[in-house]
Amino acid sequence: MGFRMGIVGLPNVGKSTLFNALTRTAAAQAANFPFCTIEPNVGEVAVPDSRLDTLAKIAKSQNIIPTRMTFVDIAGLVKGASKGEGLGNQFLANIRETDAIAHVLRCFEDEDVTHVDGRVDPVADAETIETELIIADMESLEKRLQNIVRKVRGGDKEAVQQERLMKAALEMLEQGKPARMVEVDDDDRKQWNMLQLLSSKPVLYVCNVDEDEAATGNALSEKVAAMAAEQGNAHVVISAKIEEEISQLDGEEAEMFLSELGLEEAGLDRLIRAGYELLHLETYFTVGPKEARAWTIRTGTLAPQAAGVIHGDFEKGFIRAETIAYEDFVAQGGEQGAKEAGKMRAEGKTYTVKDGDVLHFLFNT
């Protein structure tokens, strides 16, 4: 399905460093000068899930295939980007193509690394970027509102709905607030999403701290945490520099390094999971001797559409889904045990798949 998180922020705050750590490559050039990145870097990242390993162990699966998410490392935005400053408009288009934003905020002091505004202040940085997104949205809405007038006069129902939503968004933006603060009914959701407003995308703040503060955070990341809580946005504390080093190590070495730093798990794992939650994504599993595999769905997906993630034919010819909850699968020592204990359910077309379900689809072709 390809859910995409855009890595966004001011220039030189550690976006590409973070991207390289996430994708375990050096695909993105990361260096100490602003606007190092121009063309976006795109990479797929495995979503860590210890349940998958547990299932594979029980079923003695030969292969383990995690589900994946896409990250896009986007060029740095600066004040005035919405007016074309620093290549602004092109970068804004890159953001438009993502489902959510990982907003990297510089929370490390290192005087050797240039800050484009000459001071380290992540809360002000967050405002700078948000303001640019808000202005860009206002301009695009004002244009679109002009263009839609004729359709509205002609009585086009969809256009009337769009116009109403555009006006609601504009009203919010004119108060300096992001479009994500507009309350949207279920009936309007589809049209709303089609507006593709930059400031309506869910945001996860990534506090990029000094190497020795990865476990504890610092005064700056605490300020971001307070801001995030007030806005109802999520945040994670990470040291991109450390994560990049960890990502180069193999499993055992990485664990040793993590415990030396006082970390229970790599910050990247926390970040990926937070992104997954932000996008309202869930995981179901298919488990057999050949492979144990995780699949991504949106929360609330019905069984046939969940089957469609594997293959279109599974959805078209859907008959039923043999379903075992993750806990039951583990407690009963696998599929056979769960079946004997009466824990395997036959679920039909109206079943809403739950996070952790182990599914086996039956279908006609």
Ligand X SMILES: Nc1ncnc2c1ncn2[C@@H]1O[C@H](COP(=O)(O)OP(=O)(O)OP(=O)(O)O)[C@@H](O)[C@H]1O
Please state the residue numbers annotated as binding site for ATP: 12-17
Do the beta carbons of residue 59 and residue 292 sit within 8 Å? Answer: yes
Do the beta carbons of residue 58 and residue 100 sit within 8 Å? Answer: no
Say how far residue 151 (Cα) sits from the centre of its chain. Answer: 35
Task: Check binding of 17 to ligand X (CB under 6 A).
Answer: yes
- Rounded distance between C-alpha atoms, residue 15 and residue 30, angstroms: 8
Quote the tokens at residue 179. Answer: 């479009």
Q: Cβ-count burial of 254 within 10 angstroms (0-12 exposed, 13-18 middle, 19+ buried)?
A: middle
Alpha-carbon Rg for the chain in angstroms:
23
Phi and psi, residue 214, nearest 5°: -60, -35
Task: Check binding of 34 to ligand X (CB under 6 A).
Answer: yes
Strand runs labelled E in 181-233: 203-209
Minimum CB separation of residue 241 from ligand X in Å reads 4
Minimum CB separation of residue 9 from ligand X in Å reads 6
Minimum CB separation of residue 224 from Mg ion in Å reads 20
Tell me whether residue 103 or residue 320 sits nearer to ligand X (CB atom): 103
Tell me whether residue 73 or residue 315 sits nearer to Mg ion (CB atom): 73
Of residues 176 through 215, those in contact with ligand X by CB under 6 A are 208, 210
Task: Check binding of 32 to ligand X (CB under 6 A).
Answer: yes
Task: Check binding of 51 to ligand X (CB under 6 A).
Answer: no
Say what the alpha-carbon torsion angle 145, 149, 151, 155 is, to the nearest 10 degrees: 120
Give the per-residue contact string, 93-132, with ligand X (x = CB under 6 A; - = no): ---------------x-x--x-------------------
Tell me whether residue 47 or residue 240 sits nearer to Mg ion (CB atom): 240
Of residues 241 through 300, those in contact with ligand X by CB under 6 A are 241
Neighbours of 63 (CB within 10 A): 11
Tell me whether residue 223 or residue 298 sits nearer to ligand X (CB atom): 223
Tell me which residues touch ligand X (CB under 6 A).
Answer: 9, 11-17, 30-32, 34-37, 75-76, 108, 110, 113, 208, 210, 239-241
